[in-house]
Amino acid sequence: MLSSSLVRVASVSHSFWGLKHLNRIRLCVVLVILVLHAGCERAEQWPARPVTLLCPWSAGGGTDRVSRQMAVQLEVELGVPVNVVNATGGGGVTGHARGALARPDGYTLLMATVELNMLHWRGLCPVTWASYRPLGKLNEDSAAVFVRADSQWQTVTDLEEAFRDATAPVAVSGSASGSIWHLALAGWLLERDLPMASANWISSKGSAPSLQELLARGVDVVCCSIPEAATLVDAGEVRCLGVMSTERCPTAPEIPTFAEQGVEWSVGGWRGMMYPPGVSEDRVQRMEAAIAKVAASDEFRNFMDEAGFNMSICGGEEFGRFLEQADKDFGAILTQPAMRQQQQAPLSPWFMPILLGVLGVIAGGVGVSTRRPAVVAKVAAADNNLRMMVVCTGAIAAFAVVLDTVGYVVAASLLMSSLLLLLRVRLLTVCVVVLTSVPVTYHAFSVLLGVPLPWGWLGW
């Protein structure tokens, strides 16, 4: 108990090094006061500790940039640090699922993106828009169609004709197969009754590699949002044929809309803030107000304008209605048999693992049959003490199990002390090492670097 309290003090106080020379009793008094003080503080106000903002996409992308800007301004608004965590992977499944399953204490926010309305239609993710408490929509970027500057197609109508008369499929890309840009293109073809087979969607990691592919003549058409291709349009390398919306994009007013060219089709991606369900209503209102205030600020507007993101702000309730409608629309496209067919790749998902397995068996066979036994270093297996290793593995596994409940500081102290004691370090040394290393690590990661570690019983 005493040692954990000590850790608490060390983690909240820079002056721990000064305290080291005080005698034990005075130290205890200081401890008790500090712990009580921290306890009182926590009960009175909310939020009292750092807020985590989950971003389902990787650092450096558009969503990440919006998240980080939001975090910086929310920090001022809420008075506590707001840390962005990139919960990437699985085409957005990981981040969105974590956002829905987070503890409903209001300390975890999610920057949701349009994929939320698409993943569940493909059976990839059980969460839908209804698994959240929407807090506010921030932006909406319409899809647009790009071709190379030397391309023969000048208008959307030219491209439609090309799709209609295509003898060989036209190579199209923009992002992964089944992504919002793929859906935008497929929806357009469906809407205009164009043959689905004439567009050969080449799945890629995102708009940047697709545009690179367009320049390298690997594909002929790219479908993505305007800001993603803005640089290449300015450079005169690619040309935008039209934007899939009813109104022109304010940041690129020279680009005609699909509607102007006689095609009634609009679709776009959006970003918005979400809470997991079950957060108490006063906290929801506090957060919703903070987000609305940030979104309305000049600073945020300037950021969005400069980054080329199209602002489209609305509150939680309206956002919810928007999501419900969008979900129905997307469902209608994504469940089309033609759309499902389009997602066929030339190699089955199991091709690669099977190929690797076969190669492994061949390599292993060749290796074992040509092995020269004399050369193999004699590992002194008898000397090896696996017991230590098993204990260490068990200790780390136990750490992983209890981390979320007891918090980083306690769990790491326990792990460290047990490992040190296992290695027969003297008790005094154990105390010194644990009391210095754990708070310092916690401080370095959680406070200086803004990487949130679980707080649990102790820590901030």
Residues 80-99 that bind other proteins (CB under 8 A): 84-91, 93-94, 97-98
Question: Minimum distance between the CB of residue 42 and other proteins, rounded to whole angstroms?
Answer: 22
Nearer to other proteins, 55 or 156 (CB): 55
N-to-C CA span, the chain: 18
> Is residue 19 part of the contact set for other proteins (CB under 8 A)?
no
Going by C-alpha positions, the residue among 310, 282, 287, 303 that lies closest to residue 134 is 287
> In terms of C-beta density within 10 A (0-12 exposed, 13-18 middle, 19 or more buried), how is residue 70 classed?
buried
> Is residue 213 part of the contact set for other proteins (CB under 8 A)?
yes
For other proteins, the binding residues in 136-165 under the rule CB under 8 A are none
Nearer to other proteins, 41 or 234 (CB): 234
> Is residue 43 part of the contact set for other proteins (CB under 8 A)?
no
Question: φ, ψ for residue 294 (rounded to 5)?
Answer: -65, -45
Please state the separation of Cα 6 from the chain's center in Å: 36
> Is residue 385 part of the contact set for other proteins (CB under 8 A)?
yes
State both tokens at 298.
Answer: 């000049």
Question: Minimum distance between the CB of residue 105 and other proteins, rounded to whole angstroms?
Answer: 16
> Is residue 366 part of the contact set for other proteins (CB under 8 A)?
yes
Q: Which of 80, 190, 202, 263 contacts other proteins by CB under 8 A?
A: 202
CA distance 276 to 106: 8
Question: Minimum distance between the CB of residue 46 and other proteins, rounded to whole angstroms?
Answer: 21
Stretch that binds other proteins, among 78-86, 140-148, 259-267, 310-318 (CB under 8 A): 78-86
> Is residue 450 part of the contact set for other proteins (CB under 8 A)?
yes
Type of residue found at 24: R
> Is residue 343 part of the contact set for other proteins (CB under 8 A)?
yes
Question: Minimum distance between the CB of residue 271 and other proteins, rounded to whole angstroms?
Answer: 15
3-class secondary structure, 349: coil
# of chain residues touching other proteins (CB under 8 A): 118
Sign, CA dihedral 313-316-319-321, equals negative
> Is residue 425 part of the contact set for other proteins (CB under 8 A)?
yes
> Is residue 1 part of the contact set for other proteins (CB under 8 A)?
no
> Is residue 382 part of the contact set for other proteins (CB under 8 A)?
no
> Is residue 437 part of the contact set for other proteins (CB under 8 A)?
yes
Nearer to other proteins, 156 or 189 (CB): 189
Instruction: Write down the residue that tokens 């209804």 correspond to.
Output: 130
Q: Which of 15, 152, 154, 231 contacts other proteins by CB under 8 A?
A: 231
Q: Which of 212, 261, 297, 312 contacts other proteins by CB under 8 A?
A: 212
Helix (H) or strand (E) holding 112: strand 108-113
Question: Minimum distance between the CB of residue 281 and other proteins, rounded to whole angstroms?
Answer: 27
DSSP, residue by residue, 68-84: HHHHHHHHHHHSS-EEE
Question: Which DSSP letter does residue 444 get?
Answer: I
Type of residue found at 311: M
DSSP, residue by residue, 132-153: SEEEEEEEEEEEEEEEETT-S-
Question: Which DSSP letter does residue 251 get?
Answer: T
Site string for other proteins, 98-127 (x = CB under 8 A): x-----------------------x-x---
Nearer to other proteins, 261 or 437 (CB): 437
> Is residue 68 part of the contact set for other proteins (CB under 8 A)?
yes
Q: Which of 1, 21, 44, 60 contacts other proteins by CB under 8 A?
A: 60
CA distance 212 to 232: 10
Nearer to other proteins, 44 or 306 (CB): 306
CA distance 234 to 220: 19
> Is residue 198 part of the contact set for other proteins (CB under 8 A)?
no
> Is residue 203 part of the contact set for other proteins (CB under 8 A)?
yes
CA distance 394 to 417: 14
Q: Which of 453, 455, 458, 459 contacts other proteins by CB under 8 A?
A: 453
Stretch that binds other proteins, among 12-20, 152-160, 198-206, 260-268 (CB under 8 A): 198-206
For other proteins, the binding residues in 294-323 under the rule CB under 8 A are 303, 306-308
Type of residue found at 269: G
3-class secondary structure, 103: coil
Torsion-angle region of 141 (φ positive above 0: left; ψ -120 to 50: alpha; else: beta): beta
